[in-house]
Amino acid sequence: MKTIDLRSDTVTQPTHRMREAMREAELGDDVFAEDPTINRLEAIAADMLGTEAALFAASGTQSNLLAMLSHCQRGDEYIVGQLAHTYKYEAGGAAVLGSIQPQPLDFEDDGTLDLGKVRAFIKEDDFHFARTRLLCLENTQSGKVLPLSYLEKARELCNEKNLNLHLDGARVFNAAIFLQVPVKEIAQHFDSISFCLSKGLGAPVGSVLCGPREFVDTARRWRKMVGGGMRQAGMLAAAGIYALENHIERLSEDHELADKLANGLKGIDDIDVLFGGAKTNMVFIRLAPEKVENLTAYLLEQNIVVTPGDVMRLVIHLDIDDGDIERFLSVLVAFFASDNSQDASSVTQYAATPY
């Protein structure tokens, strides 16, 4: 039976054609800037995002780290969401490796940071304070798409206050597809953008950091320093190019399937669908905490994998189709009908992935 893995869009396997592209990639030593496939990926990414340059990175965590190290000096500060990936899920890299102080603020319900609060937390030029240098936004944020009008206002604030503006755009293509705009229209407001090839786009590895030439040169030095200078990595870049050329438009199918999932879940009494339904490729549900363990075990017996929690994030991706959603919904209905919540069996073979 096929495994239905709803934990994250990172779990996708490269398709047959993507593997072909990887196998046939022309390769060279990328530390010498001689890998033609990496060079091509970086050129394509810069062109799509409308930036001067781009840099291939091993992961989104690395790409965000390089951005923060490039924007900020020791003793500088960045303003960031309390639940932002860069703050919460990247092992404190900016603080550990860059001596960059975070100023976390709560996200609003729509995934934005309130610009009035951001303004209030920008520190005056006073030697008592860290120097506020950077505002970091996330788009999508838990699947939510930041409005373009909001990005414009964030840009204005950063201009006024002399801050750089970085986008953790791990899923920025989901946002662009949702808004039906070229990704450039989102990217234009930022000084730098990091996006993931290895999420909804379906590549096995990699992220790209986009920005002005000088910034990318600085980031390239940091990448070398943190051990991210890879050699014949064009095999990975080939998967990334394939993803950019073939897997962007289809993200709308993920969004439609997430909608279908959300609507199906709304018909199950024991489940609360949060945020009113699907947000791009994600659905968040709440269920009674005492049912979580049994449900997770029950699902696993049917080869369905979720991240346990009384708030559960369900993520649609390349390897999930219509039939999978139907199977998932009918297994849920069966679970709640039979009340399997009596005897718990322990199930933690699968790691919980927050992102």
Ligand X SMILES: *Cc1c(COP(=O)(O)O)cnc(C)c1O
Q: Which two tokens stand for residue 142?
A: 């838990």
Q: Which segment (127-135, 191-199, 216-224, 311-319) binds ligand X by CB under 6 A?
A: 191-199
Q: Does 207 bind ligand X (CB under 6 A)?
A: yes
Would you say 122 or 196 has its CB closer to ligand X?
A: 196
What one-letter code names the amino acid at 107? F
User: Looking at the chain, which runs of residues are DSSP E strands?
Assistant: 4-5, 53-57, 76-81, 101-105, 131-138, 164-169, 192-196, 207-211, 272-273, 282-286, 304-305, 311-315
For position 70 contacting ligand X by CB under 6 A, the verdict is no
Q: Which is nearer to ligand X, 165 or 271 (CB)?
A: 165
CB of 298 to ligand X, least distance (A): 28
Residue count at the site for ligand X (CB under 6 A)? Answer: 13
Q: Length of the chain, please?
A: 355
Residue 60 is a binding residue for ligand X (CB under 6 A): yes
Site membership for ligand X, residue 146 (CB under 6 A):
no
Q: Contact between 87 and ligand X (CB under 6 A)?
A: no
Residue 294 binds ligand X (CB under 6 A): no
138 binds ligand X (CB under 6 A): yes
As a whole number of Å, the CA-based R_g of the chain is 21
- Applying CB under 6 A, does 107 fall inside the site for ligand X? no
168 binds ligand X (CB under 6 A): yes
Of 250, 271, 248, 251, the closest CA to residue 261 belongs to 271
Q: Mind giving me the DSSP string for 226-267? A: TT---SSTHHHHHHHHHHHHHSSTTHHHHHHHHHHHHHHHHT
Selected range binding ligand X among 110-118, 150-158, 193-201, 291-299, rule: CB under 6 A: 193-201
- Nearest alpha-carbon partner for 30 in 180, 210, 228: 228
CA distance 245 to 46: 14
Q: Give me the half-sphere count of Cα atoms (radius 13 Å) on the Cβ side of residue 9.
A: 27
Q: Contacting ligand X (CB under 6 A), which of 190, 195, 215, 355?
A: 355
Rounded to the nearest 10°, the torsion over CA 331, 333, 338, 341 is: 80
Does 85 help bind ligand X (rule: CB under 6 A)?
A: yes
User: In this chain, which of 12, 37, 51, 59 binds ligand X, going by CB under 6 A?
Assistant: 59
Nearer to ligand X, 289 or 354 (CB): 354
CB of 208 to ligand X, least distance (A): 11
Q: Which residue is nearest to ligand X (CB)?
A: 60
Interaction site with ligand X (CB under 6 A): 59-61, 64, 85, 138, 168, 170, 196, 198-199, 207, 355
